[in-house]
Structure 1
């Protein structure tokens, strides 16, 4: 069983077209807070990021926001989080987020969310970040991505072990249970 004190959540800075995305972000925040697990995220106040942070805080949870200075200058920062770190670059942001987290969850999002998730998976595969990872699959949002991962495995460009390490669930509670029960296998050699 994995001891999870903080989970890094990758999420969009926009709400997306479906109210289900905002509802899922808020539910994840409440679920983590109720479980005594802190949130580490990109520090934004809008979109799914804001919904996640606001719901976590409202439920009495701890939220650590990490935002690069150029986004802070645009006033995109959530100033009400428990801990706020303004860093010099996107690379510093992602590194600090990974260092402060015991697991990773991706909510629906755009190219930034996708890039963060794929980089974390790459770090796992290189044995740099051996932590559980999961997708909160709201209304089948992640199905095209998981299909692409299966395609990569079928064509020999990604080991099955890397694909299998990424957990998926449609509910925050179900995904959290999977991450807590995960024994993270070593990355492929």
Structure 2
């Protein structure tokens, strides 16, 4: 199994975020799970990649050329694909991964997990999308997603397709047992 992890290029101000990223990476490696990620050596991205590598698993990075040229690319990966744009990055990561997990992060993390989730709703893939809700980081976002559903902009079955867990073991178990809802607009 390969999990695409979307997360901050910063460590955040609370060290518990970096600690949780490291624990998640260690758990992935212990379960023979490989990592697909944005290819950076910085922030939570670097922490989770280093933990998976230290556990002896494969780590696949996908980074736009402009970010690689700023010396942000992780140099110790199994493979680093350099692409022309963020759009190509997300598409290649989606093709490579069997599941998507958002750790704490900023707008880039939201862009990535929301796009993967949207593609799942539309039937472009049947892969699980999840939030690793470290210390309640995503609580307000999850409340807003519930509000979207209550306001009629998101069917409950598509809100429910998101996996939300606070422990790596429960998160990986939910990813492995995921069953997608019916496609939003079947052919």
1:64 partner SS:
strand
The one of 153, 158, 161 equivalent to 1:157 is 153
- Aligned pair 1:175/2:171, yes or no? yes
Q: Which residue matches 2:62?
A: 66
Report Cα offsets for 1:67-113 as digits up to 9, x if no partner.
00000010000010111100000000000000000111000000000
Aligned 1:99-110 pairs, distance under 5 A:
99-110=95-106
Q: Which residue matches 1:78?
A: 74
Unaligned runs of 5+ in 1: none
Question: What displacement does 1:121 show?
Answer: 1.0
Distance 2:181 2:57 in 1: 29
Alpha-carbon contact 1:50-1:78 (below 8 Å) kept: yes
- Aligned pair 1:129/2:125, yes or no? yes
Q: Which residue matches 1:96?
A: 92
- Aligned pair 1:31/2:27, yes or no? yes
Distance 1:164 1:188 in 2: 13
Question: What displacement does 1:8 show?
Answer: 0.5
1:139 partner SS:
helix
1:74 partner SS:
coil
In angstroms, what is the RMSD of aligned CA positions?
0.8
Q: Give the number of equivalent residue pairs.
A: 185
1:115 partner SS:
helix
Q: Which residue matches 1:55?
A: 51
The two structures have a TM-score, normalised by structure 2, of: 0.97
The two structures have a TM-score, normalised by structure 1, of: 0.96
Report Cα offsets for 1:121-164 as digits up to 9, x if no partner.
11111111211111100110000110110000000001111110
Unaligned runs of 5+ in 2: none
The one of 164, 181, 186 equivalent to 1:185 is 181
The one of 79, 101, 107 equivalent to 1:111 is 107
